Amino acid sequence: MSRLFRLFVAFTFSLFAIGSAQAEVRVLTSIKPLQLIAAAVQDGVAVPEVLLPPGASPHNYALRPSDVRKVQSVDLLYWIGPDMEGFLPRVLKGRSLPSVAVQDLPGMKLRHFAEDSHSHGEDADEHDHDHRPGTLDAHLWLSPVNARVIATRMAADLSSADPANAARYQSNLKAFNERLDALDARLKTRLAGIAGKPYFVFHEAFDYFEDAYGLKHTGVFSVAAEVQPGAQHVAAMRARLQQVGKTCVFSEPPLRPRLAETLVAGLPVKLAELDALGGYTPATAQGYEQVLEKLGNDLAGCLEQL
């Protein structure tokens, strides 16, 4: 009886040790969209962490000491790359554990900014400066094709780090891809009626999504929210809106540029928002699809009223 009891205790301890080892596989992503993809892959096993809080800019985020410690300690780290999170390369130099810049993954379908894709005026903001013609458009998570590539890499990494749950990660990956198939069909149906309708954005962040669903913005007003543009610049933008007529102008949460109200005053223009980051979306298996579906619904919701 005593021997059986010892065997039982040993067996129980081994299960606990295995469970503890699995729990130690911590995943950290730089931004919410990557966290949502990781959450789909880790569904039922663990919840990935995210570095940037809602509303923070991935272009100029200031890391706190606790952020630096987290970056150094997690088992797997995923970020877009130096074209997006310019604050990370210096910190990652001191990291010995795996970190993946997803922009470098094989199979990614990448876009680059065109000559006429953004404002060249003196009022262009710091972020817009990063959108120089020919440079990488790093908003790559808005392509379902790229999301599949990222999820596949995450599933492979997690299966290697946590082989006991490898079958679960692969099953979650398969379910994620199937949900993306269904989402793709819904979005194509939802957005078919607005193809060709004119609209403007304050920030050129949506080209991957537009390319996937046959859309194209008419213009970009890349002006920093905290900088008051000159009267000549505002007049030129208003002239474009007057020329187009009924249209929508989309800003991004959490802040609407102060320019927006002045820009559209007295014009048949609707103001609305598009959220490329989905900062407040819960980190669940369906979170990534929710961000893309909301993006499509918000676009269509405004443009269908024109």
Give yes or no for a contact between 278 and 291, defined as CB atoms under 8 angstroms apart.
Answer: yes
Determine which of 16-25, 96-105, 204-213, 280-289 has the lowest per-residue pLDDT on average.
Answer: 16-25
CB-CB contact of 27 with 46 (8 Å): yes
Model confidence at 303: pLDDT above 80: yes
Q: If we measure between CA atoms, which residue out of 172, 170, 168, 135 comes closest to residue 156? A: 170
Q: What is the mean pLDDT of residues 86-98?
A: 94
Find the mean pLDDT for residues 5-21.
47
On the 0-12 / 13-18 / 19+ scale of CB atoms within 10 A, 25 is middle
SS3 content of the chain, % helix, strand, coil (to 5): 50, 10, 40
Q: Which structural domains are found in the chain, ordered by start?
A: 27-108+138-187 (3.40.50.1980), 193-304 (3.40.50.1980)
Does residue 131 contact residue 204 with C-beta atoms inside 8 Å? yes
Q: What pTM does this model have?
A: 0.87
- Could you identify the residue written with the tokens 């205790």? 9
Residue type, 197: K
- What share of the chain in percent tops pLDDT 70? 83
